[in-house]
Amino acid sequence: MSITQLQTAGSKLGEIRKPIPAPKHLPDPGDMPVNFEQDEPSTKPDFNAGFRTEGDKAYTRIAGPNDDFAIETMEELGFPPATTPHRGGETRALKELNKLIADKKYTATFQKPKTNPAQFEPQATTLLSPFLHFGALSVRLFYWRVREIVDSYGKGASTPPESLIGQLLFRDMYFAAQAALGYVFSQTANNPYCRFIPWHLPSKRDSETGLITGEYHIDSEEAEIWFRRWRVGMTGFPWIDALMRQLKDEGWIHHLGRHAVACFLTRGGCYIDWERGCEVFEEWLIDHEPACNAGNWQWLSCTAFFSQYFRCYSPIAFGQKWDKEGNFIRRYVPELKNMDSKYIYEPWKAPLPDQKKAGVRIKGDGVEQYRGGNISKTNV
């Protein structure tokens, strides 16, 4: 499937409808009971069990303990208090959308491939994807607010697939592909559109359903080490490590950053099954959409969609293109914060005096160390 196919199919449905305005008040519930107890949902399997520190104290009454219909807190759900700066909700989503729309030139001329993956505080893109994922921002509202700006901007406005509307089309393209194939869309096995490549660490499958189980075969101890180091940002390639650490710490990385780490794990470096990376993104991305996640991993591993097998993202040169001084690396790989810019993307090339000046010592392959990775900060 391609965006063109999606647009052709979508055109038969007519114009995308504008969203219904939000109500200004809620109707009187009358005699409707609000204190009834809800049916206890099944807790098997509890995918969040490993993250809970206390029992789940979710509300049993729809009105909540204070009769205010409040959403449960992290503590009431059995989790530790939130420590991240992320805050959700429609109020914040609309505030961020209005901030975006206020910059008409940025909105109208937005081109995703030209945004900087190494830019942070603030990032180079809209950061609205988590709000879309959680339903705090209406997709149709986003579409129409952007389209009105683009239509009024005239000459010079960007177009799909690189524009903001193009990003929504990519999203729907993956949704449509998933709708057509069902569960097998998210795996190689039994997926008629996904190329089989003999990756390392292939998934285990249920013998009856043919679906992947979430476990995998360790066909190579070396590949298993590579995968674990990639996951925690200790590969020894500072650009890749910075991106993976940002993902773990913040739940988000730039679209092109996702391209870089996905290419590195699969065809561009480790030759590890894309399903392993897909699972890590599923766990850590706060804007995770199952269809988009699986689709993008297939795209970047060149197993489906627009397979540009000849385009590999260098773990060195690609980052340098956007951030020659390595400020992104200094932010997320603080071991190298004092490294000379000449060596920050390839610290193993730094002479010993430069390493000593930076307060690091590069040695070994990292396998023998608990944390792994080529970058070892030691006393020198």
Domain of 171: which CATH number? 1.25.40.80
Question: Are 78 and 96 in a shared domain?
Answer: no
Split at pLDDT 50, 70, 90, the class of 368 is low
Q: CA-CA distance, 63 to 82, in Å (whole number)?
A: 23
Q: What is the DSSP letter of 27?
A: P
Q: Are 277 and 227 in contact, with CB atoms under 8 Å apart?
A: no
Helices (H), 154-218: 164-181
Domain limit, last residue, from 148, 178, 208? 178
State yes or no: 127 annotated in a binding site.
Answer: yes
Predicted local distance difference test score (pLDDT) of residue 376:
42
* Chain segment 303-322, per-residue pLDDT in tens: 999 888 888 999 999 999 99
Q: CA-CA distance, 217 to 204, in Å (whole number)?
A: 6
Question: Are 99 and 171 in a shared domain?
Answer: yes
Residue 63 placed within a domain? yes
Span 334-349, average pLDDT: 97
Question: Are 59 and 103 in a shared domain?
Answer: no
* CA-based end-to-end distance of the chain: 55
Residue 220 placed within a domain? no
* Chain segment 19-56, per-residue pLDDT in tens: 998 888 878 878 877 777 766 667 677 878 888 888 87
Question: Are 77 and 107 in a shared domain?
Answer: no
Enter the tokens of residue 30.
């009358």
State yes or no: 186 annotated in a binding site.
Answer: no
Question: Are 100 and 173 in a shared domain?
Answer: yes
Span 354-377, average pLDDT: 68
| Model confidence at 293: pLDDT above 70 | yes
Question: Are 130 and 155 in a shared domain?
Answer: yes
Question: Are 63 and 101 in a shared domain?
Answer: no
Residue 110 placed within a domain? yes
Predicted local distance difference test score (pLDDT) of residue 204:
98
Q: Are 37 and 61 in contact, with CB atoms under 8 Å apart?
A: yes
Residue 64 placed within a domain? yes
What is the overall mean pLDDT for the chain?
A: 91
| Model confidence at 76: pLDDT above 80 | yes
Mode of pairing for the β-strands spanning 361-362 and 375-376: antiparallel
* Chain segment 240-274, per-residue pLDDT in tens: 999 999 999 999 999 999 999 999 999 999 999 99
* Chain segment 200-231, per-residue pLDDT in tens: 999 999 999 999 999 999 999 999 999 999 99
Residue 355 placed within a domain? no
Predicted local distance difference test score (pLDDT) of residue 276:
99
Domain limit, last residue, from 152, 178, 204? 178
pTM of the entire predicted model: 0.89
Question: Are 129 and 159 in a shared domain?
Answer: yes
Span 160-181, average pLDDT: 96
Predicted local distance difference test score (pLDDT) of residue 366:
60
Predicted local distance difference test score (pLDDT) of residue 41:
66
Q: CA-CA distance, 320 to 326, in Å (whole number)?
A: 7
| Model confidence at 378: pLDDT above 90 | no
Question: Are 79 and 100 in a shared domain?
Answer: no
State yes or no: 129 annotated in a binding site.
Answer: yes
Tell me the residue range of the domain where 118 lies.
3-7+90-178
Domain limit, last residue, from 178, 204, 228? 178
Question: Are 79 and 105 in a shared domain?
Answer: no
- Kindly report whether the peptide bond that precedes residue 238 is cis, defined as omega within 30 degrees of 0: no
Instruction: Quickly count: other Cβ atoms within 10 Å of residue 70's Cβ.
Output: 12
Residue 203 placed within a domain? no
Question: Are 68 and 139 in a shared domain?
Answer: no
| Model confidence at 119: pLDDT above 50 | yes
Q: Tell which residue, 339, 152, 159, 154, has the closest CA to residue 241.
A: 339
Residue 201, SS3? coil
Residue 103 placed within a domain? yes
The residues pairing with 212 across neighbouring beta strands, listed in sequence order, are 205
DSSP run (H or E) holding 375: strand 375-376
Predicted local distance difference test score (pLDDT) of residue 374:
42
Residue 92 vs residue 363, higher pLDDT: 92
Residue 130 placed within a domain? yes
Provide the domain count of the chain.
2
